[in-house]
C-alpha cells in the first residue's frame, strides 16, 4: 500500500488506488517527517515508540 499512515501517496507514478479516507494535513512526504520516513522505508511502516 503506497500510502503513508497519514494517507499520503509516496509510491512511484500517480495514485491509482482510491485514496484513504484518513488524510492528515501534514504536508505529505515532502514536509512531514512521519510520511517522509514511511516513504523512505515502506517496508517498516511502524512507529518508533514500540520499545
Contact residues for Zn ion (CB under 5 A)? 6, 26, 32, 34-35
β-partners of residue 3 are 9
Write down the least CB distance from residue 13 to Zn ion, Å: 20
- Report the distance separating Cα 22 and Cα 28, nearest Å: 13
Which one, 34 or 45, has the nearer CB to Zn ion?
34
11-35-19 Cα angle (round to 5)? 55
Write down the least CB distance from residue 15 to Zn ion, Å: 15
Which one, 9 or 32, has the nearer CB to Zn ion?
32
Amino acid at each position: 500500500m503506497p500510502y503513508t499512515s497519514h494517507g499520503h501517496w509516496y509510491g512511484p507514478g500517480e495514485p491509482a488506488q482510491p485514496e484513504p479516507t484518513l488524510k492528515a494535513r501534514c504536508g505529505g512526504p515532502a514536509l512531514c517527517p512521519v510520511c517522509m520516513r514511511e516513504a523512505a522505508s515502506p517496508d517498516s511502516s511502524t512507529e518508533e515508540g514500540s520499545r
